[in-house]
Amino acid sequence: MKKFFTLLIIASTALVLASCSNKSTSPTADNNSAPQQSSVPAEVQQTLNHYALPDDGSMPQGNLYSTGTTPPLPSDTSYDMYAVTLVWGEMPSPVSQPPQPVDWSGNLTVNAVSIVDLLSTISFEHGQDSILPTPSTSALYWTSVTDHDFDGVTLLIYMKRGIYYFAAPTLTFTTGPKTLQWDFGQLEHLFAYYPLDGTNTSNGVAIFSRKLYPRVCDQGLLSGEWIRDDIGGSSGSLTGLWVGANGTPLGYFSGTFTTDDANRRTFQGYLSGYITTQVIARFSGTWYYDDPRMCPLCGSGHGEFVGRYHYLDGSASGRMQGEFGYAGDPADNHLPLHGTWERFCPWVTSDVAAPAN
């Protein structure tokens, strides 16, 4: 088995990110005598730092471990993403000790709709330590035996958002020597060490976890027409293509715009699939005219709009905005429309300010 003391010590590349508001609870008692969390030994810190994931959850090529699991795309904001590095076993000691093999075979499970994506094993020895077939995407099973060294795993956990549970979802580490449990509020930022017992503090379980945020959020273009009912343009319709960032059509948008008695100008509509006519999202917002050729900030030959959209299945929401107008013929009620849409990232506010009128 690859020995712990041969690990290359490098600085951690992981930044601790701010957590969202899950309430934390203390780890559950293990099956020995409920030892408490201890300060993280320097050797364990070095190991956790060495195997910690970058902030985008990527791993250097060649370090990936294939389990057949298909994780969501990084831009899929219907999942929360957690990076977890776990090591277990015994630190090296300058004092000669007799062999003390410990069987750490066990599993890691999540009691919620989730995907556990193993990226790398740590110091697994061929023929002795291995990842076992797992019947669920929410779990990971292994065999592991240590003898004055560490084994471990580096993984990503994807938690499906928008699901409510009677109890807070937890990550449970279950082995013969020790069992630990953490809720996902703790996992948003956790750097901890749990000794195996009160007398042998060099043997135990260490964890480094934090919540990650995708660096890229989906975005794309809107291309269509703003169609006035008449030259005054107080009402009408809008229609066009909803296009992805790579230029691929994703659907059709269609809606109406109106002006009420208080001169409030709003629009609303829906997004349907590109292949089918199924409605997959709704949108709404405000608009105004600003064509100075007809009158300052009021002429109906040009205008702008801004609003929000949300998918009906709750998987995503975001912002849409753009402009319309300057048709070749000023009397033409079909005004060219161009705009953008952008899915909200988890850290972006969903508030959309109305355009000034």
Model pLDDT for residues 291-320, shown as the tens digit of each residue: 776 665 467 888 999 999 999 988 888 999
Model confidence band, residue 159 (pLDDT cutoffs 50, 70, 90): very high
Residue 171's DSSP bridge partners are 110, 182
Q: What is the mean pLDDT of the chain?
A: 78
> Using CA atoms, how far apart are residues 143 and 165, in angstroms rounded to an integer?
31
- Over 60: is that where the pLDDT of 22 sits? no
CB-CB neighbours of 212 under 10 Å: 23
- Over 90: is that where the pLDDT of 4 sits? no
> Using CA atoms, how far apart are residues 117 and 115, in angstroms rounded to an integer?
6
Which pLDDT score, from 0 to 100, does residue 197 have?
A: 73
Which pLDDT score, from 0 to 100, does residue 57 have?
A: 58
Which pLDDT score, from 0 to 100, does residue 62 have?
A: 39
Residues 6+ apart with CB under 8 A from 14: 49, 52, 53, 54, 55, 83, 208, 210
> Residues of the chain with pLDDT > 70: what percent?
73
Main-chain dihedrals φ then ψ at residue 6, nearest 5 degrees: -95, 0
Model confidence band, residue 101 (pLDDT cutoffs 50, 70, 90): confident
Model confidence band, residue 82 (pLDDT cutoffs 50, 70, 90): very high
Which pLDDT score, from 0 to 100, does residue 74 have?
A: 56
Q: Which residue has the higher pLDDT, 76 or 11?
A: 76
> Residues of the chain with pLDDT > 90: what percent?
41
Which pLDDT score, from 0 to 100, does residue 218 have?
A: 79
> Using CA atoms, how far apart are residues 315 and 75, in angstroms rounded to an integer?
11
| Cβ-count burial 285-298 (b if 16+ within 10 Å, e if not) | bbbbbbbeeeeeee
Question: Do 86 and 54 touch, CB atoms closer than 8 A?
Answer: no
Which pLDDT score, from 0 to 100, does residue 295 have?
A: 61
Which pLDDT score, from 0 to 100, does residue 19 have?
A: 32
Model pLDDT for residues 323-343, shown as the tens digit of each residue: 999 888 888 999 999 999 988
Cα→Cα distances 347→20, 115, 350, Å: 9, 22, 9
Distance spanning both ends of the chain, measured CA to CA = 70
> Using CA atoms, how far apart are residues 21 and 50, in angstroms rounded to an integer?
29
